[in-house]
């Protein structure tokens, strides 16, 4: 095997490659090094040039260029390409869109096709706008339709089943047009965090709807079965409902569907109704797209006179990356014949970027400043222009994409690819490359990572550490203090100019997040995946303003996340002055106010009580959870026994059981107890019963949850519970227990590389 000493990988990057990407034997032992992986990928992708009259000597040179581009971490393709190029599976695309037409045959054909795509490592997007609404008559049977949201649950269940055995989690995007009669049900379909956890959802806003919101008027609902008007709704009410739910838990997102179709490069080939799971790749039915990202942190030229963007290097990498991605289309082993036909008809590629925040830091430009917005436009225009030039050169050599006639390029540019640029989330790729994610700001300058046996390590951004040492204010104690602070401006030892340069995601105003997205979107063929971060105290009106700004600045979609708005989030940044936040007011309203002299007395235990014992595995051994119920069939008390573990594990399990029992006997809702315990992590997590058990406390919470939801056989010992992994992914990582960050319209763990999306 080749060594990988020449690769400049961080320890985290190496760990992610070893865990997720390297070829392994049947025992899970790696059979290649990172260097072998890159050589495998380079060799496989270069081979496509043989289809265009190139010799094996040409191939050797191209393979070396592809390898060196990836080994230098200047460019990396999307994860399926890294995983599968040169291997038997050979499925190289991350993004797919499947049609869902208004028939039972089409719906379940789409379910089957989605399962095949998820099995191969891809993610799927669907528009459910063609399905007749709930309560509508089904012509063939004279029955009643259950509507789009009910069928989404079928897709969700199928994804849950397939992902358990896959190398990458299946992810879906569900889109419904704002003029569909079931739009209200769709907007609120993820208000319950236990539903549809394998879906991101977005509402497709039409220009007519946006105009109705602006004029404070009603708009028409259209029944997709026949196109008749099915009613009218107040546009402002619907828009406010979208905003309210996004404020509560980040969903639904919105896409400006008419804006997407205005930039559809092949309108004669079809209309765009859906995107991939993170929303940055609009696609026609049965299209797929392969993505890749340039590492901007490596595109900085350092000379004695200072630093600047290395425009020549960026040009060279862009042109080589376009060649690479076009080759991927030919080498790809597609999961469906229809997908292969549609993909090759348009040959869309999505070249994006990562390391934007790192580039700005090296150039001394604060994120969100006017200089940063100006550079964003100039840089993306450079990539777009050079990418189109490279595609044009390939078209002269290999021919235009088959649907070129009637495309937006017809008569102007001879293009090999219908689209060139996309800005995708780069969760695991940016970990491998050791750079910031996509076009996001830094999430933290310093943070504490818990590793095996509870050891805590302080991780520091390398640029900050370098500058701190150069400026003479570095110390390990200061780095730890910063890790516990929500922003550098709170740390007196950090100079003001440095604090301004290293602003983190929560210090950037939501408006500046949108302005940055818009600056890039202007020169991106497809769309931009980005998260607009809000602090916990942000109001519903704050979110509404950002949505309107995104529309005004011609973004193609918006994803927002208010810190701490989803149950189970671990990484919550402290914010000053949040005592008067809307969330705090809501909590105060919901919590009953009792005089201090009132004593809450738990219900007395009857002499005889019945219940159920459930066995589940934990990192400390088998845990037996006994749940007894009261005369009304409600959980009354919990006893825990942790096998033969003894010591702390046994005593803590017993203590948790006593406190849970006390809470239940004081009429505290089981759901509240579950939400407090579920997702707590320890140093010995374990995979069991189809999911991850993060700790004994987590196992107890899940046992109580299963009992309350009727997933155990009452009166009998159960052999374990079904664990919904998706419900634990916001906050604590379901694989390593680390903190999950929201970035690029997705969720990613920077400890192990786990990501919710593709």
Please report how the helices 696-708 and 670-677 are oriented relative to each other, as an axis angle in degrees rounded to 10. Answer: 150
- Domains in the chain (CATH in brackets) are 1-8+15-71 (no CATH), 95-275 (3.20.70.20), 450-502 (no CATH), 610-728 (no CATH)
327 or 138, higher pLDDT = 327
Residue 725 has pLDDT above 60, yes or no: no
Contact in structure between 442 and 533 (CB atoms under 8 Å)? no
Sequence-separated (6 or more) residues with CB below 8 Å from residue 664? 634, 635, 636, 637, 638, 670, 673
Radius of gyration of the chain (CA): 27
Q: How far apart are CA 515 and CA 518, in angstroms?
A: 5
For residue 639, whether the previous peptide bond is cis, meaning omega lies within 30 degrees of 0, is no
Q: How far apart are CA 746 and CA 758, in angstroms?
A: 9
State which H helix or E strand residue 396 sits in. Answer: helix 370-398
Q: How far apart are CA 316 and CA 294, in angstroms?
A: 11
The string of DSSP letters for 405-424 reads: TTSTTTTT---S-S--B-B-
Sequence-separated (6 or more) residues with CB below 8 Å from residue 194? 724, 727
What's the count of helices (H) and strands (E) in the chain, helices before strands? Answer: 24, 27
Of 4, 172, 167, 15, whose CA–CA distance to 79 is shortest? 167
pLDDT at 454: 56
Q: Which of 242-251, 546-555, 620-629 has the lowest mean pLDDT?
A: 620-629
Q: How far apart are CA 557 and CA 554, in angstroms?
A: 9
| Residue 687 in tokens | 């995979």
| Residue 655 in tokens | 């203590």
The mean pLDDT value for 682-708 works out to 77
List the beta bridge partners of residue 200.
173
The mean pLDDT value for 106-120 works out to 93
Q: How far apart are CA 85 and CA 68, in angstroms?
A: 17
Q: How far apart are CA 93 and CA 78, in angstroms?
A: 7
**Residue 600 DSSP symbol:** P
Q: How far apart are CA 710 and CA 691, in angstroms?
A: 18
Contact in structure between 422 and 439 (CB atoms under 8 Å)? no
Length of the chain: 758
Report the Cα 222 to chain-centroid distance in Å. 31
3-state SS, residue 272: coil
The mean pLDDT value for 396-410 works out to 97
127 or 450, higher pLDDT = 127
Please report how the helices 370-398 and 510-521 are oriented relative to each other, as an axis angle in degrees rounded to 10. Answer: 30
Whole-number percent of the chain with pLDDT over 90? 60
| Residue 267 in tokens | 């309108």
Contact in structure between 718 and 614 (CB atoms under 8 Å)? yes
Q: How far apart are CA 367 and CA 659, in angstroms?
A: 47
pLDDT digits (tens, 9 = 90+) for 320-346: 999 999 999 999 999 999 999 999 999
pLDDT at 75: 98
Contact in structure between 292 and 352 (CB atoms under 8 Å)? yes
pLDDT at 267: 97
**pLDDT band at 581, cuts 50/70/90?**
very low
pLDDT at 568: 42
Residue 727 has pLDDT above 50, yes or no: no
State which H helix or E strand residue 42 sits in. Answer: helix 34-46
pLDDT at 128: 98
**pLDDT band at 726, cuts 50/70/90?**
very low
518 or 680, higher pLDDT = 518
For residue 252, whether the previous peptide bond is cis, meaning omega lies within 30 degrees of 0, is yes
* Residue appearing with tokens 């109580």: 704
**pLDDT band at 715, cuts 50/70/90?**
very low
* Total Cβ atoms within 10 A of residue 593: 6
Give the mean pLDDT of the chain.
86
Sequence-separated (6 or more) residues with CB below 8 Å from residue 195? 153, 156, 189
Q: Which of 430-439, 581-590, 625-634, 694-703 has the lowest mean pLDDT?
A: 581-590
Q: How far apart are CA 458 and CA 465, in angstroms?
A: 12
Contact in structure between 735 and 755 (CB atoms under 8 Å)? no
Q: How far apart are CA 411 and CA 421, in angstroms?
A: 21
Report the Cα 269 to chain-centroid distance in Å. 29
Q: Which of 131-140, 142-151, 308-317, 732-741 has the lowest mean pLDDT?
A: 732-741
pLDDT at 119: 86
The mean pLDDT value for 382-390 works out to 98
Q: Which of 255-259, 348-352, 584-588, 719-723 has the lowest mean pLDDT?
A: 584-588
**pLDDT band at 647, cuts 50/70/90?**
low
Sequence-separated (6 or more) residues with CB below 8 Å from residue 268? 403, 405, 406, 407
Contact in structure between 76 and 433 (CB atoms under 8 Å)? yes
Q: How far apart are CA 438 and CA 425, in angstroms?
A: 6
10 Å CB burial of residue 244 (0-12, 13-18, 19+) is middle
3-state SS, residue 438: coil
pLDDT at 165: 53
pLDDT at 362: 97
3-state SS string for 303-325: ECCEEEECHHHHHHHHHHHHHHH
* Residue appearing with tokens 């107040």: 234
* Residue appearing with tokens 């950037």: 508
pLDDT at 684: 67
3-state SS, residue 292: strand
User: Which residues are part of the catalytic machinery?
Assistant: 276, 278, 280
The mean pLDDT value for 407-428 works out to 94
Of 743, 752, 712, 79, whose CA–CA distance to 439 is shortest? 743
**pLDDT band at 600, cuts 50/70/90?**
low
607 or 286, higher pLDDT = 286
* Residue appearing with tokens 């490596």: 298
Residue 572 has pLDDT above 90, yes or no: no
List the beta bridge partners of residue 350.
291
Of 383, 413, 376, 373, whose CA–CA distance to 396 is shortest? 413
List the beta bridge partners of residue 97.
125
Report the Cα 725 to chain-centroid distance in Å. 15
464-490 residues labelled b (16+ CB within 10 A) or e (exposed): beebbeeeeebeeebbebbbebbbbee
The mean pLDDT value for 226-236 works out to 96
pLDDT digits (tens, 9 = 90+) for 522-541: 999 999 999 999 988 899 99
**pLDDT band at 459, cuts 50/70/90?**
confident
pLDDT at 443: 87
Sequence-separated (6 or more) residues with CB below 8 Å from residue 603? 630, 636, 665, 666, 667
The mean pLDDT value for 67-86 works out to 96
pLDDT at 643: 63
601 or 364, higher pLDDT = 364
* Residue appearing with tokens 């270069």: 46
Residue 227 has pLDDT above 90, yes or no: yes
| Residue 217 in tokens | 């008027």
10 Å CB burial of residue 715 (0-12, 13-18, 19+) is exposed
The string of DSSP letters for 101-119 reads: -SSHHHHHHHHHHHHHHHH
727 or 539, higher pLDDT = 539
Q: Which of 197-206, 391-400, 684-693 has the lowest mean pLDDT?
A: 684-693
Of 176, 272, 175, 178, whose CA–CA distance to 220 is shortest? 178
Residue 721 has pLDDT above 50, yes or no: no
């Amino acid at each position: 095997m080749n060594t990988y000493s020449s690769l400049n990988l961080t320890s985290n990057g190496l760990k992610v490659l070893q865990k997720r990407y390297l070829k392994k034997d049947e025992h899970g032992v790696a059979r290649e090094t990172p260097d072998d992986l890159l050589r495998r990928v380079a060799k496989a992708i270069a081979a496509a040039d043989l289809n265009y009259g190139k010799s094996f000597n040409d191939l050797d040179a191209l393979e070396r260029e592809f390898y060196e581009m990836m080994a230098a971490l200047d460019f990396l393709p999307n994860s399926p390409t890294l995983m599968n190029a040169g291997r038997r599976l050979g499925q190289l695309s991350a993004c797919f869109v499947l049609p869902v037409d208004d028939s039972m045959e089409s719906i379940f054909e789409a379910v089957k096709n989605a399962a095949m795509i998820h099995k191969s490592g891809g993610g799927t997007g669907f528009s459910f706008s063609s399905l007749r609404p709930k309560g509508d008559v089904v012509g063939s049977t004279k029955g009643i339709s259950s509507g789009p949201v009910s069928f989404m649950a079928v897709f969700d269940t199928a994804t849950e089943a397939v992902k358990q055995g896959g190398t990458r989690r299946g992810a879906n995007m569900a889109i419904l047009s704002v003029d569909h009669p079931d739009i209200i049900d769709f907007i609120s379909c993820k208000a319950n965090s236990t539903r549809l956890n394998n879906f991101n959802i977005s509402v497709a806003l039409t220009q007519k709807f946006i105009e109705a919101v602006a004029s404070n008027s009603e708009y028409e609902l259209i029944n997709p079965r026949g196109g008749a008007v099915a009613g009218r709704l107040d546009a402002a009410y619907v828009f406010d409902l979208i905003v309210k739910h996004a404020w509560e838990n980040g969903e639904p997102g919105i896409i400006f569907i008419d804006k997407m179709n205005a930039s559809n490069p092949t309108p004669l080939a079809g209309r765009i109704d859906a995107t991939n799971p993170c929303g940055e790749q609009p696609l026609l039915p049965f299209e797929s797209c392969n993505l890749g990202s340039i590492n901007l942190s490596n595109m900085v030229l350092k000379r004695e006179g200072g630093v600047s963007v290395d425009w020549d290097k960026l040009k060279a990498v862009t042109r080589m990356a376009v060649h690479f991605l076009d080759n991927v289309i030919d080498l790809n082993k597609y999961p469906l014949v229809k997908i292969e036909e549609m993909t090759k008809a348009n040959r869309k590629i999505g070249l994006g970027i990562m390391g934007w925040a790192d580039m700005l830091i090296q150039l001394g430009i604060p994120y969100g400043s006017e200089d940063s917005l100006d550079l964003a436009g100039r840089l993306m225009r450079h990539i777009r222009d050079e990418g189109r030039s490279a595609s044009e050169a390939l078209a002269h050599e290999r021919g235009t994409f088959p649907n070129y006639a009637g495309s937006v390029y017809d008569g102007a540019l001879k293009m090999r690819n219908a689209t060139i640029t996309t800005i995708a989330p780069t969760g695991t790729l940016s970990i491998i490359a050791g750079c910031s994610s996509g076009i996001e700001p830094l999430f933290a300058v310093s943070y504490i990572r818990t590793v095996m046996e509870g050891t805590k390590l302080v991780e520091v951004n390398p640029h900050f550490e370098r500058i701190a040492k150069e400026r003479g204010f570095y110390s390990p104690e200061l780095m730890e203090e910063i890790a516990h602070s929500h922003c550098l401006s709170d740390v007196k030892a950090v100079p003001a100019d440095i604090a301004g340069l290293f602003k983190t995601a929560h210090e950037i105003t939501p408006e500046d997040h949108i302005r940055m997205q818009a600056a890039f979107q202007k020169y991106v063929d497809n769309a931009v995946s980005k998260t607009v971060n809000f602090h916990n105290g942000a109001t519903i009106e704050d979110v509404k303003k950002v949505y309107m700004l995104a529309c005004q600045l011609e973004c193609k979609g918006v994803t927002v996340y208010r810190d701490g708005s989803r149950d189970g989030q671990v990484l919550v940044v402290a914010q000053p002055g949040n005592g008067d936040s809307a969330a705090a007011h809501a909590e105060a309203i919901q919590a009953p106010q009792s005089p201090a002299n009132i004593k809450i007395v738990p219900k007395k235990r009857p002499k005889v009580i019945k219940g159920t014992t459930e066995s589940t595995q934990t990192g400390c051994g088998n845990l037996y959870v006994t749940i007894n119920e009261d005369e009304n069939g409600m959980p009354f008390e919990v006893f825990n026994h942790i096998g033969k573990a003894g010591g702390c594990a046994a005593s803590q399990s017993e203590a948790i059981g006593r406190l849970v029992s006390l809470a239940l006997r004081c009429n505290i809702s089981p759901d509240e107890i579950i939400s407090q315990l579920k997702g707590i992590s320890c140093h010995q997590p374990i995979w069991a019963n189809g999911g991850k058990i993060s700790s004994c406390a987590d196992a107890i919470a899940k046992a109580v949850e299963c009992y309350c939801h009727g997933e155990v056989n009452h009166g009998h010992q159960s052999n374990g519970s079904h664990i919904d992994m998706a419900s634990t992914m916001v906050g604590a990582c379901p694989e390593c227990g680390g903190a999950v960050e929201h970035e690029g319209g997705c969720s990613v763990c920077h400890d192990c590389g786990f990501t919710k999306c593709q």
